[in-house]
Structure 1
């Protein structure tokens, strides 16, 4: 493993996911040079609270710092495009939160710029890095499951289930025209694309906004926290939930549902694959277990144990069997791989992190979902 202690990192955004990035960088021993907040005052306050020595006053100041080699973008979606363009133009590597951009036109430009730069450019689809998802990818690649026939699953949450729940993602001008699909549905799409090696080529989608008006706090509110203080009523046009039928290039079929209004579901991401040789299923609520189904032999439940997993799965694990790993560990496995590639000067042959090409595909997928929901018909997913 290359030495990561000489690679300086900076993080844009100091909210929930920005703090996740910071704690993961510390865990891996990667120097944190500084952070950039939504304002200079906000950045300084959050830097003190998060134990970071430096708060930059502007993006230009951050990018002018020669000790920063990698920039993490955890800002609201609307800021990704201009920030990533500036980061790549400054010759820095970039790790960007999803969705990659507000539109596929933006993501296409970001992809082209990333390719031309020669820099490492990763998108934060961390759920790939649950070790058993990596193992399932290895199984599919080895032909253990056969050809993809049917895949079903969902990503359900409850953090926006009440009209008093609020987050910037609710507003199209901050997060984009889709919400449950782009915010969490793209996690499922990217993960299942990664595992199966297949991508949807057409979709039939229905979107629903079950809470058409919400109470927006007049003051700031953090992700996954309750709103407090006075509010104002705001009309909501982004999707609370969606159901999507999928067609894959090899003739396989799929079904996906997304929801941010399912009471009691904190983060239920699950998939169930029926292959021509065997089946497999996994859930983020039980991330240490991979179910493997057979027709003419007993079914199996593989507990995460590197000594029993294929090399792809074992490489993503930190702990031996019997020592559970979870959400925080996916970020560590993800960053460890990305920073290893930064140290080596480019993407490694065995690297499995999501690229800007993957992020652009998710934007094209979202385009097709919007068009299908508007037309009430199947729509092809553009390839690019």
Structure 2
């Protein structure tokens, strides 16, 4: 089996998660990493036994041995790197968002149309077994017509006024924060499950901490009695948001996004109310699907390949009771992405894959931009 040589651009959490997932797939091999400095790249290369380290992304992109590239950099770097990789003709898997605005992502989506490589966006929540099971059941009309969807994505890592991160700065993260960072995952996952796009939004966003206190690390000596020194930074992007949504085919819904909800670490959840039953799934308990009934006892379906449809069972790699989670969904996404690459390079017809591509990434960015416009104008905005 031909080994695919991969380059990783970035050295943070996403880059490390991608490297670890890649290592679980036998025919993939990370041969190069690029960082914001050569020292950072060399540190990751040494830690993970990666043979090559580069001090900038262009050197990695031009490496002839690198066949596919993972863009795991901060948001403001995504557009330029994705564009450069597309023009170089190499396979690209980018963390979301593809760019800082829908104008940038539209250009990338257009470039990807005539592009010979495979392009993907890391919307990895699509790739849980029970997400595939829900999609299968809805496609088979097992629960009747879908009427409404509600849910959200809740975290607490920015609850305190002194919580600070580069994502709080629009020049690095973009005009939206909570909606773009985690709301985009909710929108993509639910659109994927339903097989329907969001077509209209009405949004209400809120900055919970108008002023945040950023620690000035150099001013803190660490000595007994020494207090941290803070710089006060005005906030421009939202901590919280609720959005009314209309999907295709008359499905309506609402979701809430928060990065200031104490005790909620990474709760992406949704509930789908259909004519015959309701379905509820929570990413923090990903191996359980709640099925609600009107006239008999409710059910709980646990992730077990023996009980799932074929499309869901293939994503479940262990017997029932051996719980799989976030790292496994990331692995499933990579298997899907690289199977498409192998089929393409073997000139074999590729079946429809489940990973998100640049077209999907652009569509989600249009939803994010529409949500910002809706909040600013306090009216419904149609996704063009």
Aligned counterparts of 1:147 and 1:364: Cα–Cα separation in 2: 27
Q: Which residue of 1 aligns with 2:359?
A: 357
Question: In structure 2, what is the Cα distance between the partners aligned to 1:269 and 1:26?
Answer: 26
Q: Which residue of 2 aligns with 1:260?
A: 259
- Residue 31 of structure 1 and its aligned partner are, at CA, apart by 0.7
In our comparison, the structure showing a higher alpha carbon Rg is 2
Aligned to 2:269: 270
Q: Deviations over 1:70-123 (max 9, x none)?
A: 100011111111101111111110000012210001001101111211211110
How far does residue 67 in structure 1 lie from its aligned partner after superposition?
1.3
Matched ranges for 1:149-298 at <5 A: 149-218=147-216, 231-298=230-297
SS of the equivalent of 2:233 reads strand
Corresponding residue number in structure 2 for 1:224: none
Q: Which residue of structure 2 lines up, in the alignment, with residue 223 of structure 1?
A: none
Cα distance change, pair 235–51 in 1 and its aligned pair in 2 (3 A): farther
Residue 145 of structure 2 corresponds to: 147
What is the distance in 2 between the residues matched to 1:18 and 1:230?
31
Q: Does 1:123 align with 2:125?
A: no
1:316 aligns with 2:315: yes
Unaligned 5+ segments in structure 2 are 219-226
Deviation by residue 1:290-330 (Cα, 9 ceiling, x = unmatched)? 11123344322110001100111111111111110011100
Residue aligned with 2:53, SS:
coil
Deviation at 1:337, TM superposition (A): 1.0
Q: Is the 8 A contact 1:19 1:50 kept in 2?
A: no
The equivalent of 2:300 in structure 1 is: 301
- Counterparts in 2 of 1:218 and 1:11: CA distance versus 1, 3 Å: farther
Root-mean-square deviation (CA), in Å? 1.7
Identify which range, 343-352 or 14-23, moves more after superposition: 343-352
- Cα distance between partner residues in 2 of 1:293 and 1:350: 31
Residues 132-178 of structure 1: CA deviation (Å, up to 9, x unaligned): 01111111111112222100001000011112211111111111111
Count of residues in correspondence between the two structures: 372
1:252-295 Cα offsets, whole Å, 9 max, x none, are 11010000011110011100001123221100121110111233
Contact 1:77-1:175 at 8 Å conserved across structures: yes
Q: Which moved more, 1:228-237 or 1:36-45?
A: 228-237
In 2, distance between residues paired with 1:110 and 1:194?
21
Asked if 1:375 corresponds to 2:372, the answer is no
User: What is the distance in 2 between the residues matched to 1:270 and 1:318?
Assistant: 23
Question: For structure 1, which runs of at least 5 residues remain unmatched after alignment?
Answer: 221-227
Output the CA distance in 1 between the equivalents of 2:267 and 2:112: 33
What residue in structure 2 maps to residue 17 of structure 1?
14
Residues in 2 aligned to 1:300 and 1:229: alpha-carbon distance in whole angstroms: 52
Instruction: State the 1:130 CA deviation.
Output: 1.1
The answer (yes or no) to whether the contact 2:154–2:258 under 8 Å persists in 1 is yes
Distance 1:242 1:379 in 2: 16
CA distance in 2, matches of 1:164, 1:203: 32
